[in-house]
Structure 1
Amino acid sequence: MPPTLATIIFPLIAALVYAFGALVLKRSSELGVGLWRTTFVANFIVAGLFSLLWLLGGPPVEKELLWQPGVIAMCLFVGQISQFIALEKGDVSVAVPVFGLKVILVAFLTPFIIGEAVGLKLWGAALLSVIGISFLNKKDQGKRPRGLGITLAAGGVGAISFAVFDVLVQKWGPQWGVGRLLPCIFWINALFSCGLVFRFSAPLSAIPKQAWGWLTGGSVLLGTQSIIFVSTLAVYGKATSANIMYASRGLLSVALVWMIGHWFANTERDLGSGILRWRLAGALMMMSAIVLVVV
């Protein structure tokens, strides 16, 4: 498949799977699992799924190059922690748009780290996607968002970490091969996750039985979309255009909440008309960004 087509189709599929996974994991969170236990369990399940890629084979692992998946895994772990701190301490309507800056950062970092130029059309699409993400998460409220400073700081660190993660996977992926680099990254990330045990509000055994199905199912969906998206970066590159298409997960998440959110006991579809207008505007921005990439 041509790289241009692959970096459109696969990120869109990953975005759709992510949107479903987010709904499922949100339901598990509402059942009392919590962010840190969710991250711990999800990271180990995702590492298990990425282990299957080892069967694809690849060049022998050079011990002196193990620092490369280590650096990428550290970027992933720092990004995850920053993301959850921003969500825990602040408002989602502020945190998610800040995370969306990753699209711009990938476009900015790609020429410096990889030496691949990013055209004006992709810069325009990246900017539109960030604006669209902001609109999709707009809330009708006059009060000042809570924890604004920590949300902006943690969200910014998370966006930078995830952007560097994407660009480094594109840079080192061809040398390692998908069947070697990606399993190593997610195994190391799972080891880092052991440090989250100290943040647990209660042991894993205290998770309600009815929550385990949602937690496991959401983690499998999260791992599946990660395999699709990260493998696309490792094989085809083009991190900027892939991230713009992947950013449609915000649009898809909103659409799924409105269409089937009630299946997951989600009540966001009952929000007011003002929020709906903002989200429609955000959808238009996201679609415009996608058109710029595709055409």
Structure 2
Amino acid sequence: MHLLLPLLASLLFVCGLLFVKRVSQSSVRPEGVDQITLLFFVNLGTSGLMGLLYLFDGVLFESSAPTSSINWSLIWQPLIVAVLFMLGLIFTFTAVEVGDVSIATPVFGVKVVFVTCILALSSSDGIPPAIWGAALLASMGIALIQWTGQHHPKRIGVTIALALTAATCYATFDTLVQRWSPAWGSTRFLPAVFAMVAALTLLALPWVRWKRIPTRGNWKLMLPAVVLLALQAFCITLAVSVFGDAARLNVVYSLRGLWGVLLAYTAARIWGGSEADLTSKLLVMRLSGAGLLTLAVALAVLS
């Protein structure tokens, strides 16, 4: 049943990115909200939601709660995790702003291969052969997605590079959350992490463009983006912290690659966007690439 959390998060993530794409500054919407402003509100929304967990300290998830008081000499642990979260979100937003959602989202699915590799490298058993097979399948999927966009090779190459960097940050984030949460307890570690995320976010306050937010109903797009992305971060991070099953949880979460292609195409047909101009052949090729990524992540976990 705990796999329902990442399944819900995968849908919320793609829906949130669609709103981010529409509200962000671009050549289509020069009056849109800039990336720093979006990051500011998404981070504060996520931090506020995570902070609510502290109200249930000692009540929820008692099995993961520490038996002794917290050693504050370990305060560097939530700080490192907070920085990784910030970097992951920055690279995610940049990838979506630069390229198409249907390109960036499937590449984010490689995160599960990275998570499995990190866990394997840190164990005495090394990396199983199946992991290398999963990495090969993932590489083929990325290449297939990239080849579908040769009409904009530079933009697609940058989009994939940014998405891979975001996946690396989040893979390390999940691994560290799984390993460090038990010593703190989920209702303490996660609020500590996101309190630091909020503190780091406040440093960007001078660069928030408040005047652009109410422009042409930007709030109608920005509010759903903030709520959806905050909820998806809450679901996947809580699942990893409480249940620890980072590899399998990320397999289910990687389904966002399929949702990204399908929902981005549907949304572009309704509201407009570059995904709406895809031919049937290009759409099938992107779906095929997303399918290979899904096979890769499934193989990584089944191993």
> TM-score under structure 1 normalisation?
0.80
Identity %: 33
The counterpart of 1:25, out of the listed 12, 20, 41, is 20
Q: CA offset at residue 252 of structure 1?
A: 0.5
Q: What SS does structure 1 have at the residue aligned with 2:154? A: coil
Distance 1:144 1:263 in 2: 26
Distance 1:284 1:141 in 2: 20
Q: Which amino acid aligns with 1:192?
A: L
Contact 1:132/1:286, CA 8 A, preserved across alignment: yes
1:1-295 to structure 2, matched below 5 A, reads: 1=1, 6=2, 8-29=3-24, 30=29, 32-58=32-58, 59=66, 60-84=69-93, 91=99, 99-113=108-122, 119-121=128-130, 124-125=133-134, 127-129=136-138, 131-132=140-141, 135-136=144-145, 139-142=148-151, 144-146=153-155, 152=161, 157-200=165-208, 203-207=209-213, 208=215, 210-266=217-273, 268-289=275-296, 292=299, 293=301
Change (3 A) 1:57 1:118: farther
Distance 1:227 1:276 in 2: 31
Change (3 A) 1:78 1:146: same
Distance 1:159 1:189 in 2: 18
Q: CA offset at residue 215 of structure 1?
A: 0.9
Q: CA offset at residue 238 of structure 1?
A: 2.6
Distance 2:218 2:83 in 1: 29
The aligned length equals 286
Please say which of residues 262-271 and 51-60 is displaced more in the overlay. 262-271
Distance 1:156 1:136 in 2: 13
Distance 1:65 1:212 in 2: 39
Q: What SS does structure 2 have at the residue aligned with 1:145? A: helix
Distance 2:265 2:158 in 1: 31
Change (3 A) 1:137 1:185: farther
Distance 1:104 1:75 in 2: 18
Q: Which amino acid aligns with 1:253?
A: G
Contact 1:11/1:242, CA 8 A, preserved across alignment: yes
Q: Which amino acid aligns with 2:211?
A: S
Distance 1:272 1:149 in 2: 22
Q: Which amino acid aligns with 1:258?
A: Y
Contact 1:129/1:244, CA 8 A, preserved across alignment: no
Change (3 A) 1:181 1:131: farther
> TM-score under structure 2 normalisation?
0.78
Please say which of residues 78-87 and 223-232 is displaced more in the overlay. 78-87
Q: Could you list the runs of 5+ residues in structure 2 that have no partner in the other structure?
A: 59-65
Q: CA offset at residue 98 of structure 1?
A: 6.3
Aligned Cα root-mean-square deviation (Å): 3.3
Contact 1:114/1:171, CA 8 A, preserved across alignment: no
Distance 1:80 1:226 in 2: 10
Distance 2:132 2:94 in 1: 29
Distance 1:209 1:61 in 2: 48
Q: CA offset at residue 70 of structure 1?
A: 0.9
